[in-house]
C-alpha cells in the first residue's frame, strides 16, 4: 500500500487560511469516507483533528475543517495561529481493511 | 482521565525479538479497537496493526505481516505487539492508539523507541 500524497510544506501568515491536500486512489480515499487528519508538533504524539472526512472531535477549534472530492481529501486551517505550526498527516481506510498515512505536511506560520 | 502508556522498547540486534506493551486506563478497554503506529526518526507515520475489542480480528500492514503479532489481555487492560525477525528498518518510535471514533484514533500514548542495530 503506497503512502497517500501530501505536499511537503505549506506556509501562511497569521490570520490567513492554508489548505493541505491528500491524494490517494480508488482503493482508499476514493472508496471510503474514512479520512482522518492528525496534528503532530515536534517531539509529541499525534493528535486527532478530523475524522470521517469532516468531523471534528470535541475540543478541536472550528478553524480546522475537512473535505473530500474523488480521490483527494483536504484539510483547511482558517485564521492561522502560531500554535498551528506542526506536521499534519492524513490517513485513510483501505480496501485491504488496513490504513494508510500520508507522508506528512509541515505547516509554517510566517 | 483516559491514558495509554507504552513500554518494552529498547535496543535489539537484527533478527531478534521484542514484545511491546501498552497499558490502558481511564476507559473501558475492551470496548475499543486498538492500533499500533510507528514513526522512524525524522520520518512520517506508518500504520502497523489493529485489533478489535475481543481480540477476534486483527489486521497488519504489508511491511510487518508474518513477523509481528498484535494481541490484547482485556483482564489486564493491556495491548501487546510481539515483534519477531526484526530488521534495521523496523527502528522507530512505536505508538499505541485507541480507535475511539470511526476509522480514526483519538487517544495516543507517548511512544516507545525500538532500535534495531548490531
**Between the CA of residue A72 and those of A24, A28, A90, what are the distances in Å?**
6, 10, 11
Q: Is B94 within 8 Å of B21 (Cβ atoms)?
A: no
A104 vs A96: CA distance, rounded Å: 22
pLDDT in tens, chain B (118 residues): 999 999 999 999 999 999 999 999 999 999 999 999 999 999 999 999 999 999 999 999 999 999 999 999 999 999 999 999 999 999 999 999 999 888 899 999 999 999 999 9
Rounded to the nearest angstrom, the gap between the alpha carbon of residue B29 and the centroid of all alpha carbons in its chain is 15
Q: Give the DSSP letter string of A30-57.
A: TT-S-EEEEEE-TTS--EEEEBTTTBPP
Q: Would you call A88 an interface residue with chain B, using a CB distance cutoff of 8 Å?
A: no
A13-55 confidence digits (pLDDT tens): 999 999 999 999 999 999 999 999 999 999 999 999 999 999 9
Q: Is B82 within 8 Å of B68 (Cβ atoms)?
A: yes
Cross-strand bridge partners of residue A10: A107
Closest CA in chain A for residue B43: A103
User: Which residues from A are below 8 Å from B103, CB to CB?
Assistant: 32, 34, 36, 51-52, 93, 99
Determine how many CB atoms are found less than 10 A away from the CB of residue B101: 14
Rounded to the nearest angstrom, the gap between the alpha carbon of residue B118 and the centroid of all alpha carbons in its chain is 23
Cross-strand bridge partners of residue B60: B49
Q: Is B37 within 8 Å of B48 (Cβ atoms)?
A: yes
Closest CA in chain A for residue B94: A45
Going by C-alpha positions, the residue among B91, B92, B95 that lies closest to residue B81 is: B95
Residues 38-57 of A with CB under 8 A from B: 38, 40, 45-48, 51-52, 55, 57
A46 vs B106: CA distance, rounded Å: 9
- C-alpha triplet A89, B111, A3: angle, nearest 5°: 30
Residues 6 or more apart in contact with residue B65 via CB below 8 angstroms:
none
B35-47 confidence digits (pLDDT tens): 999 999 999 999 9
Long-range pairs, A59-62, Cβ under 8 A, ≥24: none
Amino acid at each position: 500500500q503506497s503512502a497517500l500524497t501530501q505536499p511537503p510544506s505549506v506556509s501562511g501568515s497569521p490570520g490567513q487560511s492554508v489548505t493541505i491536500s491528500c491524494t490517494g486512489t480508488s482503493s482508499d480515499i476514493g472508496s471510503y469516507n474514512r479520512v482522518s487528519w492528525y496534528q503532530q508538533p515536534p517531539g509529541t504524539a499525534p493528535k486527532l483533528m478530523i475524522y470521517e472526512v469532516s468531523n471534528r472531535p470535541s475540543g478541536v477549534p472550528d478553524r480546522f475543517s475537512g473535505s473530500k472530492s474523488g480521490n483527494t481529501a483536504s484539510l483547511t486551517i482558517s485564521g492561522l495561529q502560531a500554535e498551528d505550526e506542526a506536521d499534519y498527516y492524513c490517513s485513510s481506510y483501505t480496501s485491504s481493511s488496513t490504513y494508510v498515512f500520508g507522508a506528512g505536511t509541515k505547516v509554517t506560520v510566517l | 482521565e483516559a491514558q495509554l502508556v507504552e513500554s518494552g522498547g529498547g535496543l535489539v540486534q537484527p533478527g531478534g525479538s521484542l514484545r511491546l506493551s501498552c497499558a490502558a486506563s481511564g476507559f473501558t478497554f475492551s470496548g475499543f479497537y486498538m492500533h499500533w503506529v510507528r514513526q522512524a526518526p525524522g520520518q512520517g507515520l506508518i500504520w502497523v496493526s489493529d485489533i478489535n475489542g475481543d481480540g477476534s480480528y486483527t489486521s497488519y500492514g504489508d511491511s510487518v505481516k508474518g513477523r509481528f503479532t498484535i494481541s490484547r489481555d482485556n483482564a489486564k487492560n493491556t495491548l501487546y505487539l510481539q515483534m519477531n525477525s526484526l530488521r534495521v528498518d523496523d527502528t522507530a518510535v512505536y505508538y499505541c492508539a485507541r480507535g475511539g471514533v470511526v476509522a480514526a484514533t483519538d487517544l495516543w500514548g507517548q511512544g516507545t523507541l525500538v532500535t534495531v542495530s548490531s
